[in-house]
Amino acid sequence: MRLVVSLITCVILLGACSFDSELRVPAEDSNPELPSASPTAVPPTALPQEIISAADAEHMLLSNIYERVSPSVVNIEAVVLAPDGKASDTRRGSGFIYDRDGHIITNAHLVSAVDAITVTLENAFVLPAEVLGLDSFSDLAVLKVQADPERLQPLRIGESATVKVGQRGIVIGNPFGLSSSMTTGIVSGLGRTLPSAELIDAGVAPGFDNPSIIQIDATINPGNSGGPLLDSQGLVIGITTAIRSDNGSFQGIGFAVPADTMRRVIPDLIKQGRVDYAWMGISVTREDGGFGVAGLSEALDLPVERGVLLRGVTAGSPAHRAGLRGGDTLVDVHGEAVCAGGDVIVAINDFHFDDLDSLVTYLVQQTRPGDEVELLVVRDRSTLEIPLTLESRAADSGNTLACNSAR
């Protein structure tokens, strides 16, 4: 307290507390004029309107998209009942209105093997729903509700083939039950694959990945599943389906099924409740870790750096009947055993592709069972054109003919 009083006294009595022995008040002026106070700071003027408008342009865009799209995004609650009739499991997610006939698009994993489904529209109008069709390979499902068409505002489906890494990605859904929430980010990767069917149904044939998955960094959490991924026009370019996480929370990597897969799958689900995919009957050397054709080209002295190297073909499959050949020799490449010597498919119907994902994407989105396609195949140092008639996917992968002499 004594220190505080001393400091206050020092402030008031400026002359008495001077620490500079040379500082003196002039004798001839016992009342010197004190220096004037600093003028009050003038606040800066507002920025010109054109700068403010430019800065707010993106927010205006997002607000407009939200206002246009959110009435079409629905909340979905799917319930699994116990034998006593009580709910044993309740799943909550999102979906969106596909047309005015009452078709709702969502994820298959959200509504697979459930007993009751309710759909809540943006205005809290609740409707019972039924599963019209479900496809575990694409993780897409179509629900059907009975509603006045005036209540249903469909979204427009865009094209995912033109999506580029770095472009804006907008997600609207119901994370943790918080309806009509928007998050934004960018498309951070393309050409990913997901084992969707194996995650949903352990009884399906393994080995058929969900191709051409869009990777995004927009925040998605439980409850976002089934909601739309939008571009800057408000068009649906994908449907959010999964996150990659070590602890169950969002860590910056989310995935969406592309719109072009939806274009192929949804009409079949509405018409017949299932999807019949085309099948060739080939197995390919895994492409992670640089084991695609580009990564193996030098080690195996391949004449091309694009396409897919056949590890094997399935006995009795379209590929087998067409005369395609799998590998016949195991070769050590960077410590990994690679089945070498097989055909390299570089194009299908004049569509040249780089890797397996591109081939599978073409088969899923552009072909149907019964279609005859023409393959461009490199065998040894020769180029062959081989016709092949596609069939429906087999119930199981069958016996694969690959490097049998080395096994």
CATH superfamily of 168-272: Trypsin-like serine proteases (2.40.10.10)
Indicate whether this model's pTM tops 0.85.
no
**Residues 340, 331 contacting (CB under 8 angstroms):** yes
**Residues 375, 345 contacting (CB under 8 angstroms):** yes
Strands (DSSP E) contained in 244-367 are 254-258, 278-279, 282-284, 308-314, 329-333, 336-340, 344-348, 351-352
Which pair of structure tokens corresponds to residue 305? 């750096």
Summarised one tens digit per residue, pLDDT across range 113-159 is 999 999 999 888 999 999 999 999 999 999 999 999 999 999 999 99
pLDDT of residue 314 exceeding 60, the answer is yes
Question: Looking at residue 269, what is its pLDDT?
Answer: 97
**Residues 157, 69 contacting (CB under 8 angstroms):** no
The reply to whether 278-406 shares the fold of 69-151 is no
| CA 100 from centre of chain | 26
Task: For residue 279, give every residue at least 6 positions away whose Cβ sits within 8 Å of its Cβ, in sequence order, or none.
Answer: 317, 318, 363, 369, 390, 391, 392, 393, 394
Summarised one tens digit per residue, pLDDT across range 174-203 is 988 788 899 999 999 999 999 898 888 877
Question: Looking at residue 14, what is its pLDDT?
Answer: 32
- What is the distance between the alpha carbons of residues 236 and 231, in angstroms, rounded to a whole number? 7
In Å, how far are 106, 107, 198, 277, 301 from 93, measured between CA atoms? 8, 9, 20, 27, 50
Which pair of structure tokens corresponds to residue 209? 């990945």
- What is the distance between the alpha carbons of residues 120 and 379, in angstroms, rounded to a whole number? 56
Task: For residue 77, give every residue at least 6 positions away whose Cβ sits within 8 Å of its Cβ, in sequence order, or none.
Answer: 90, 91, 92, 117, 118, 120
Burial class (CB in 10 A: 0-12, 13-18, 19+), 379: middle
pLDDT of residue 29 exceeding 90, the answer is no
Class of domain 69-151: mainly beta
Beta bridge partners of 73: 96
Summarised one tens digit per residue, pLDDT across range 355-403 is 889 999 999 999 999 999 999 999 988 999 999 999 998 765 556 666 7
**Residues 169, 185 contacting (CB under 8 angstroms):** yes
* Residues designated catalytic: 109, 139, 225
Residue with tokens 């097989």: 342
**Residues 117, 79 contacting (CB under 8 angstroms):** yes
Q: Confidence band (pLDDT; 50, 70, 90) for 37?
A: low
CATH superfamily of 278-406: PDZ domain (2.30.42.10)
In Å, how far are 166, 220, 365 from 160, measured between CA atoms? 14, 19, 11
Task: Give residue limits of the domains in the chain.
Answer: 69-151, 168-272, 278-406
Q: Are strands 103-106 and 87-97 parallel, antiparallel or unpaired?
A: antiparallel
- What is the distance between the alpha carbons of residues 138 and 134, in angstroms, rounded to a whole number? 9
Which amino acid, residue 43? P
Summarised one tens digit per residue, pLDDT across range 260-272 is 999 999 999 999 9
- 3-class secondary-structure state, position 355: coil
